[in-house]
Structure formats: structure tokens, C-alpha cells
Amino acid sequence: YKRVTVKSLVEMKQTGEKISMLTAYDYSMAKIVDAANVDAILVGDSASNVMAGHETTLPITLDQMIYHASSVVRAAKRALVVVDIPFGSYQGDSKEALRSAIRIMKESGAHAVKVEGGEEIKISISRILEAGIPVMGHLGLTPQSIYKFGTYTVRAKEEEEADKLKSDAKLLEELGCFAIVLEKIPAKLAKEVAESVSIPVIGIGAGGGVDGQVLVVHDMLGMTHEFHPRFLRRYLNLYDEMSNAISQYVDDVKSSDFPNEDESY
């Protein structure tokens, strides 16, 4: 396997090859995602929702993120592994941010970290980058700030927020980030941002004018089924498939159909 690097992602933007990214939080899922040639795996703090059942991404801890990340790293032979620094582990000051990033890199073996925000956290981003740790930015609907937004609706529809997003994207590029995630913003704005920077812009709910796409793997596989944003394309309905299989198992146990003679020693 030829490992995808932060350099190869930037080269993909230059050659116009779109970047595919999916989340994964555990070894078994990451194995499948990696073997299917996804370029980058995001160990997202969406693990807080998907794996732990929390309502927001805020409760997940740095230790929990490192546990998920180390499982994914053991599975990923080809994909670049990027890990979210969780809420509360980098906003305090730049020293804390660096310490958190170093813990993720050292204890999980991941290849890069991701943080939410622009101007507000520029000193932290610089400090992490100075330590030689690649940083991916994340602008637009940044779920760690959900209580500031109050809703999960589209961001940057008004000029003021759009202008800030554009200047934050330029700032992230200048600081030395290797890529930026743009979440749930108008497609026109996302395209404009992607064209204004030389680093790849990876969208989720940001239209087709960007350099790559990311989705939460449980959402695109249809394993979660209460979540229907417009940007989500469901490639499977695993919720129903798994429910049917498990109900069948229950029936087979109850009726003594399972195990049969061939399945016994």
C-alpha cells in the first residue's frame, strides 16, 4: 500500500482529483473503509453521537478520542488518519492545544489532527504546526459551537458570517494547515473558498464545487436512520438490514432452529 499523506492530498487538489473521506471510530469499520480506497479517514468527535449516544460532540474526552484513533490506526494501511481534538482540549490556551495534539499523535499513531475555528484559535494552530503536526481546519457549522449557534441549520448565509468564513479560510492556509473542512454552508460560498486557497477544501453539505467530500460512515451506510439532512446520500439501508438479520436470529433461537446439527460439535 502506498500511504496517502498530507502532501498527496494537496497534490490531488492540484491535479483535480477529488478527495474521498469518511469517518471511522473502530478497527472493524476502518478496515472496510481503508480497503475500499478511501483517501482519508476522520476519527471525528462525531463518535460522541454515533458511538456513545450523546446529543452533541461536547462530552467526548481526549482519552476516548485516543482510544478510537488507536483502533482506526491499527486498521488503516493506506488512508491518512486525521483525528478531531475534542471540545475543551485546545480552546483554553495554545500550550494545552499542543499538549492535546501531541498526546493524540504519540498515543494513537495518527497522522494529523483537526480543530474547529479560525481567527479565535490561530495561536493554538500555529503552535501545533510548529511541532510538526499537520492540522486540518474546520469552518462553517462547527458542532463544538452548537450552543452558540442554537441550531444545526446552514451557516454563513448572511454576508457578515460569509466574509468571516472567507478570511478564516485564507488565515488557515497562511498558518500552514494542509486542508479545511467546510460543513453545511451554501455551495456557492464553498466553491468560492475552494478556489481562493491552494490547500484542499473538503465539504460536508457544502456542494460539489469543493475538492473533496466527507460523510459520517454510519450515516452513508444507513445505520443511523433518524437523521435526514439534505446533504446525506444513503448508499445502504443497514439499519433495516441489520434489524431483519437480528430479528431472524432471535426467531431462530426461540424456535430452536439455531443451532442445527451441522452447526453443532
Binding partner of residue 41 among ligand KIV, Na ion, none, CB under 5 to 8 Å per kind? Answer: none
Which residues on adjacent β-strands are paired with residue 215?
A: 22
Contact code string over 73-92 relative to Na ion, x by CB under 5 A: -----------x--------
Angle between helices 187-196 and 159-175 (to 10 degrees): 30
Closest contact distance (angstroms) between CB of 255 and Na ion is 44
Interactions with Na ion, residue window 8-47 (CB under 5 A): 44-45
Tell me which residues are annotated as active site.
Answer: 183
Reference 25, options 238, 216, 221, 223; nearest CA is 216
Q: Is 55 known as a binding-site position?
A: no
Angle at 65 between CA 194 and CA 226, to 5 degrees: 70
Q: Count CA within 13 A, CB hemisphere, residue 103.
A: 18
Nearer Cβ to ligand KIV (80/214) = 214
Q: Which distant-in-sequence residues (6+ apart) come within 8 Å of 89 by Cβ?
A: 62, 96, 97, 100
Confirm or deny that 114 is annotated as ligand binding. Answer: yes
Q: Does 183 bind Na ion (CB under 5 A)?
A: no
Cβ closer to Na ion: 42 or 98? 42
φ/ψ (deg, to 5) at 137 = -90, 170
82: helix, coil or strand? strand
Closest CB to ligand KIV among residues 51, 243: 51
d(CA 44, CA 37): 19
Between 50 and 162, whose beta carbon lies closer to ligand KIV?
A: 50
**One-letter identity of residue 61:** T
**Residues near ligand KIV (CB under 6 A):** 23, 42, 44-46, 84, 181, 183, 204, 214, 216
The contact set with Na ion (CB under 5 A) reads 44-45, 84
Binding-site positions for Mg(2+): 45, 84, 116
Q: Residues annotated as binding site for 3-methyl-2-oxobutanoate?
A: 45-46, 84, 114
